[in-house]
């Protein structure tokens, strides 16, 4: 399932911190970016990406309402942060990628699968500083959104 619609509420992780650098070294938008842009950022900036995932988890854990993420205008970095956070929150790679980028999610899927040689997404995040309480906060948020969507679908 791919569309140009914004990502679902499951990806409400909030805006990039003030003063943060643009998405990728080239400022490339995520939509239409090749897998190499995502893989390169995972390899080069794991600590920064993980730091942003941790910040999102901390905001969610503190009960701070998250700003809506718009996959149509996301940068490569923003899309990776959302995808990593959603996988850490319990979604599978394919679903996380579909929420993170408008259009074809294949490049994000390929990039996340590139982490398999290093243990996968969760070990990548742990090695780069994500802590267990962050995983719990992200999982709680994903479960809460899933329950809310299920309730709405039954109305």
Check residue 129 and give its pLDDT: 97
pLDDT tens for 31-62 read 999 999 999 999 999 999 999 999 999 999 99
Domain ranges of the chain: 9-16+25-153
CA 17 remoteness from chain centre: 15
Q: What is the distance between the terminal CA atoms of the chain, rounded to a whole angstrom?
A: 23
User: Does the structure show a pLDDT above 60 at 6?
Assistant: no
Check residue 39 and give its pLDDT: 97
The pTM of this model reads 0.81
DSSP 14-47: -PPPTTPPPSSTT--BSTT--HHHHHHHHHH-HH
C-alpha neighbours within 13 Å on the C-beta side of residue 54:
15
Whether the CB-CB separation of 74 and 101 falls below 8 Å is answered with yes
Whole-number average pLDDT of the chain: 83
pLDDT tens for 105-155 read 999 999 999 999 889 999 999 999 999 999 999 999 999 887 677 566 665
Whether the CB-CB separation of 89 and 141 falls below 8 Å is answered with yes
């Amino acid at each position: 399932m791919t569309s140009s619609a914004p990502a679902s509420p499951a990806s409400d992780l909030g805006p990039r911190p003030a003063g943060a650098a643009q998405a990728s070294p080239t400022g490339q938008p995520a939509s239409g970016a090749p897998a190499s842009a995502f893989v390169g950022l995972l390899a080069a900036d794991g600590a920064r990406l993980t730091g942003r995932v941790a910040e999102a988890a901390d905001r969610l854990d503190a009960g701070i309402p998250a700003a809506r993420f718009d996959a149509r205008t996301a940068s490569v970095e923003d899309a990776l942060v959302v995808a990593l956070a959603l996988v850490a929150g319990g979604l599978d790679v394919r679903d996380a990628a579909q929420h993170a980028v408008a259009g074809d999610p294949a490049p994000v899927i390929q990039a996340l699968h590139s982490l398999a040689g290093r243990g996968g997404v969760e070990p990548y995040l742990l090695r780069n500083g994500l802590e267990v309480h962050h995983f719990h906060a992200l999982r709680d948020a994903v479960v809460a959104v899933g329950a809310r969507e299920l309730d709405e679908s039954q109305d």
